[in-house]
Structure 1
Amino acid sequence: MVSARPLRRRRGLALVAAAAVALTAALVLPSRADQAEAAIGGITWQDEFNAPAGTPVDQSRWRFDTGGSGWGNNERQYYTTSTSNAVHDGLGNLVITARRENPANYQCHYGRCEYTSARLLTAATFTQAYGRFEARIKIPRGQGIWPAFWMLGNDMGDVGWPDAGEIDIMENIGREPNTVYGTIHGPRYSGGGGITGSRTIGQPLADAFHTYRVDWEPNSIVWYLDGVEYHRVDPSRLGGNRWVFDHPFFMILNVAVGGNWPGYPDASTQFPQRMLVDYVRVWGYTSGDGGTTRIRGLHSGRCIDIPGANPIEGAKLQIWDCNTTAAQAWTFASDGTVRAMGKCMDPAWAGTANGTEVNLVSCNGNPAQRFTLNGAGDLVNLNANRCVDVRDWNPNNGGRLQLWDCTGGANQKWSRA
């Protein structure tokens, strides 16, 4: 699917000067119950869009990109600041509306603009590295309609696109009404070469509200639709190219009309088209560096353990009744390793296949020893892109660990304890 997609993204090149402003708006909601998940902290930013009907966008949270330059994709809309294109509906939603203009009083790259829309961004109000970024959205529909919830690196003004990095949390194109795409773009993997994944459901996404989310941690980004993972990336996916997702990013909401990837409206496309956004929320990231923790399994309630508290080379890791011994005192180090008793968690012989044993080995700097415990509770080996799994779903003391495809099963779910 990736190779068939045309070169389609130079959107970051047209950002307005507002991106240079440094103002942070950080509001707090009570933590949700699922925030006990590893690595995800409390809410750091939010917009619930609860203003009265007709209220403009809150500019302490969002600013506008404006213009009809084509945005690097030969898009057909002119982005405005008008409440006819972005406004609160009084029902708890932000509404971004794409309208057909006949003719518009705006100049686009191809002549008089046929359409107007809005593009909102937090470059001037909020940026963050790592955490959970989520929105609940009812997308628009129709051939040539291109809604998106996405992020760009805050160093756009210095290094440009794609070196600043782009994380597309949600994109849909009207001709594929049931499919959401999640993608990263960076140096030498941009446009049609972006690292992308998708999920297709049984009905058009525009029929209802859905939640679109990424959990972003050092060396790991995971995409979810309605809480179900469908895509993940880490540096091993880049073919040796540079990972640029290690600095603050800002968020963007927009509805484009036309462009190289979605194509252009036709006789079947109805206007106006509206994207309703119920909320946008951001949670922080908690690294866990600098301390020790037990790693408890959801299925068994037991903890990852070094047998006999004996850190011999190649010790086969197991689950055991949780205790306070050094055999269960794990440290998530800043280099991505998971350490106990002076050694590192390690897939046997740097293996990447299903069934590879998870052992204890001297820390050696091999990328095979990098793991992350993500916000969904998956303990992922980044080199293999597989999860630490309790073999045969064994809930008993002595159950052995292996790498396996991440399935979401309880025998692959872990938390700091």
Structure 2
Amino acid sequence: MAAATRGPRAMRAAAALLAAAAAVAAVGGTASAVLPLLRDGRRRAYVWSPIDEMSDEWLGFDANKWRDTNPRWFGRAPSVFKAENVRVRRGKLQLKSRRDIRYEYPPNPPGMPVEPRVYGNWTTSFVESRNLATYGFFQTKAKPGDGVISSSFWASWNTPTDWTEIDVFELGGGAPGGPGPGFPFIMFMNMHVFRRTGTNFTPSTVLSQPGNYVYSEPLANNYHVYGLDWDESSIVWYFNGRPVRSTENVYHQQALAFKFDSETMPNWFGLPEPTWRSATFKINYIRAWSREEVDTAGRAHRSVPRTVPATGEAAISPYALQRAPMPNSPEVAGLAEPVPRGGWSSLPKNGVRAVGRTLSYFGPVVV
């Protein structure tokens, strides 16, 4: 009896392996085999075309698509980006943040005293696309690190004439305090204009348009699907296939690089405890599509631009901010007290005060 059933079982196992192999081959590191997760009915109105240059299933790290550190920015002090913290394991992109007291941190910016050191104690991670995209639907399945250090998915590009940014999410997976139920429950979304041809915005007069979505449990508990639908007229943010924020697109027509990173946010999420060791931001995939509208007769209209190589980039000082400033952060209003270990709610009302000095070297610098 055992010998008689071994053949069919082997055949079923082989069929399962072939099906799995076909599924992997169909995805093949691109979005070609799948459509966006959408639960508002909008998918039926479009013809979707994958943008392979901006998509990855993380079967390995493709250095032709991504860079694993930022050549134009050390990172948000006191942490710095470290390429060795970026790895692909078990089909996931993993961005590690860690206490790293032996790392050779950069010196203080020119014009500052040698001590105390601005950078130190923590190394973080950064991944950036080597192509720029103008419009499209961008979706990622991710799980933030369960720590004070941020986990973010965002898009920006900085040139002498234009610098805009769209934050799909910024998460403080294990940060103490925060509004409402607290930082671990909140998906922060934002739009920034630092400089834009034809406007009066400059890095010293930044336009920021924040928004947030509060989930029912800490976001670091599970993987969730986050999306951005961006075209010339509107920008829509998605969480698990449902729109959670939408706005008119007035200024964001610039081609942008898409990025995942972790940063210390001393004046927002606070700094880790001295005993804290590490946390890992995990990304299951990133998928991107351009789309064409379809009328009732089934005819497609308006082809959306796809991607261009990231060429002609400005030379940026590694001490520049290179990232949207946080509310009441040193980049905006002078150095404020870091968030206390227990969050702002742990302090008496008279225990919060601003420190009256500025850190001009944090400003964006185009050279």
Which band: TM-score by shorter chain?
0.5 to 0.7
Work out which of the residue numbers 262, 272, 276 in structure 2 matches 1:270. Answer: 276
Change (3 A) 1:195 1:211: same
Instruction: Specify the alignment match of 2:360 in structure 1.
Output: none
Change (3 A) 1:79 1:228: same
Q: CA deviation at 1:285?
A: 2.8
Q: Aligned with 2:220: secondary structure?
A: helix
TM-score, length-scaled by structure 1: 0.53
CA separation in 2, counterparts of 1:66 and 1:192?
Answer: 23
Identity %: 21
For the pair 1:164 / 2:178, whether they are aligned, the reply is: no
CA contact under 8 A between 2:143 and 2:282: conserved in structure 1?
Answer: yes
**Structure 1 or 2: more helix by fraction:** 2
Change (3 A) 1:181 1:112: closer
Change (3 A) 1:49 1:27: closer
1:137 aligned partner, one-letter code? A
CA contact under 8 A between 2:74 and 2:81: conserved in structure 1?
Answer: no
Q: Aligned with 2:284: secondary structure?
A: strand
2:290 aligned partner, one-letter code? G
Q: Deviations over 1:172-194 (max 9, x none)?
A: 12230011011111154989852
Q: Aligned with 1:166: secondary structure?
A: strand
Change (3 A) 1:68 1:167: closer
Instruction: Specify the alignment match of 2:82 in structure 1.
Output: 80
Change (3 A) 1:40 1:270: farther
1:87 aligned partner, one-letter code? R
**Structure 1 or 2: more strand by fraction:** 1
2:243 aligned partner, one-letter code? E
1:228 aligned partner, one-letter code? R
CA separation in 1, counterparts of 2:285 and 2:214?
Answer: 23
Instruction: Specify the alignment match of 2:106 in structure 1.
Output: 107
Work out which of the residue numbers 48, 68, 71 in structure 1 matches 2:57. Answer: 48
1:280 aligned partner, one-letter code? I
Instruction: Specify the alignment match of 2:288 in structure 1.
Output: 282
Q: Deviations over 1:90-132 (max 9, x none)?
A: x21011000101232222543452111211101xx22221110
Q: CA deviation at 1:66?
A: 4.0
Change (3 A) 1:223 1:28: closer
Instruction: Specify the alignment match of 2:97 in structure 1.
Output: 98
Q: Matched residue pairs, number?
A: 247
CA contact under 8 A between 2:78 and 2:118: conserved in structure 1?
Answer: no
Q: Aligned with 1:256: secondary structure?
A: coil
Q: Aligned with 1:37: secondary structure?
A: helix
- The correspondence of residues 255-266 of structure 1 with structure 2, limited to 5 A, is 255-266=262-273
Change (3 A) 1:225 1:192: farther
Instruction: Specify the alignment match of 1:205 in structure 2.
Output: 219
Instruction: Specify the alignment match of 1:131 in structure 2.
Output: 136
1:165 aligned partner, one-letter code? T
CA RMSD of aligned residues (A): 3.2
Q: Aligned with 2:91: secondary structure?
A: coil
Instruction: Specify the alignment match of 2:242 in structure 1.
Output: 228
Change (3 A) 1:218 1:101: same
Work out which of the residue numbers 246, 251, 258 in structure 2 matches 1:251. Answer: 258
Q: CA deviation at 1:157?
A: 2.5
Q: Deviations over 1:32-87 (max 9, x none)?
A: 38684334622112111123xxxxx321111133479664xx532111221xx011
Change (3 A) 1:68 1:281: closer
CA contact under 8 A between 2:153 and 2:259: conserved in structure 1?
Answer: yes
Q: Deviations over 1:260-304 (max 9, x none)?
A: 33222235x73211011100111113256xxxx33xxxxxxxxxx
CA separation in 2, counterparts of 1:135 and 1:170?
Answer: 11
Q: Deviations over 1:308-349 (max 9, x none)?
A: xxxxxxxxxxxxxxxx8xxxx999899xxxxxxxxxxxxxxx
CA separation in 1, counterparts of 2:281 and 2:222?
Answer: 11
CA contact under 8 A between 1:100 and 1:271: conserved in structure 2?
Answer: yes
Change (3 A) 1:32 1:111: closer
Q: Aligned with 2:213: secondary structure?
A: strand
CA separation in 1, counterparts of 2:202 and 2:233?
Answer: 16
- The correspondence of residues 250-399 of structure 1 with structure 2, limited to 5 A, is 250-266=257-273, 270-286=276-292, 293-294=295-296
Q: CA deviation at 1:204?
A: 0.8
CA contact under 8 A between 1:214 and 1:222: conserved in structure 2?
Answer: yes
CA contact under 8 A between 1:152 and 1:250: conserved in structure 2?
Answer: yes
Work out which of the residue numbers 226, 233, 257 in structure 2 matches 1:219. Answer: 233
2:132 aligned partner, one-letter code? T
CA separation in 2, counterparts of 1:247 and 1:111?
Answer: 33
Q: Deviations over 1:187-227 (max 9, x none)?
A: 54989852122111121101110111111111200001111
Change (3 A) 1:69 1:60: closer
CA contact under 8 A between 2:49 and 2:290: conserved in structure 1?
Answer: yes
Change (3 A) 1:38 1:189: farther
Change (3 A) 1:215 1:166: same
CA contact under 8 A between 1:40 and 1:132: conserved in structure 2?
Answer: no
Residue ranges of structure 2 left out of the alignment (5+ in a row):
1-28, 109-116, 177-182, 195-200, 304-367
Work out which of the residue numbers 175, 186, 191 in structure 2 matches 1:184. Answer: 191
